[in-house]
Amino acid sequence: MQKPKLTSYPKSETAFYDWGWRTMSPMFRGGQYDLPHRHHFGMLHVFNQGTIQPAQGYPMHPHQNMEIVTIPIKGQWEHKDSEGNLIHFGDGEVQIMSAGTGMAHSEFNASQTNPLTTMQFWLHTNEPNSAPRYEWFRYANHLRQNHFTPLVQPLRPPRLSRQESIGRDEGVDGPENDAQEGARILQNAWFNIGRFDQGAPFSYALKGATNLQNGQSGRKYGVFAYVLAGEFLLEGVKISAKDALGIENTDAISGTSLTPDAQLLLVEVPMDA
């Protein structure tokens, strides 16, 4: 059995920027930060974590053909966009924007007194020039200790193999996924979060297609694992808060929590960037 390919992204090699009104730690390249192995992880091209000071934020600005996932860690965002949405969302919730043909939005810390700590991810879209769309999902109501909880999933599941699609009338992709299983994006990507007791084992089976499609190999998938709190032993590698581990060439991963109330975020994406 082929061993998984592992790529470490230690906190000690992550850049840190401080502009006063906000801080930013980009996991991948940004500004003067440019390590060869940190340009992207498959279809995941941007992952930033940072803090926004009270009432500060980003004025209206445009995006196009990008799937943008925002996950507050502590505090609350105010989101306003060109589609008419005006939303406040905070920790325990996730927001997605499928920018498609073009979508402008502003993002501000909704609090006048408390800083906002947040994460944001950008993925290339599966459906260029589609209509812009917006969703948010409250995952806090679904959390279960020592289990992974879905945050984000594909709007439409990956293509079926030619054999599996016989007799089905679902076109190129399957039917739309249920919105109760997480916010939905136009990319074959899955975000899951888990909180674990000390010593708790866990495993995750990759959801991406691994079968043959129309006589050709299916897309290859990988998992980008990011530690939100505590420490883990993941695929034999010890990782701590704000460390990440990229895992490829496998259909499942496993590990153990090393500390109480350890928290892990898994982002599964296609690797054919």
pLDDT tens digit sequence for 150-172:
999 999 876 543 333 333 233 33
pTM: 0.89
Query: What is the mean pLDDT of the segment spanning 77-85?
Result: 94
Judge residue 188's burial from the number of C-beta atoms within 10 Å of its C-beta, 0-12 exposed, 13-18 middle, 19 or more buried: buried
Q: Is the pLDDT of residue 48 over 60?
A: yes
- Per the CB < 8 A criterion, the answer to whether 105 and 77 are in contact is no
* Confidence at residue 15, expressed as pLDDT on a 0 to 100 scale: 85
Give the model's confidence band at 173: pLDDT under 50 very low, under 70 low, under 90 confident, else very high.
very low
Cα 187-7-213 angle, rounded to 5 deg: 40
39, two tokens: 């340009």
* Confidence at residue 178, expressed as pLDDT on a 0 to 100 scale: 59
Question: Of the ranges 66-75, 201-210, 213-222, 224-233, which one carries the lowest mean pLDDT score?
Answer: 213-222
Give the model's confidence band at 3: pLDDT under 50 very low, under 70 low, under 90 confident, else very high.
confident
Query: What is the mean pLDDT of the segment spanning 96-101?
Result: 96
Domains of the chain: 5-270 (2.60.120.10)
* Confidence at residue 181, expressed as pLDDT on a 0 to 100 scale: 76
Handedness of CA 34, 62, 221, 234 (dihedral sign): positive
In angstroms, rounded to a whole number, what is the distance separating the alpha carbons of residues 172 and 244?
34
Query: What is the mean pLDDT of the segment spanning 33-38?
Result: 64
Mean of all residue pLDDT scores within the chain: 87
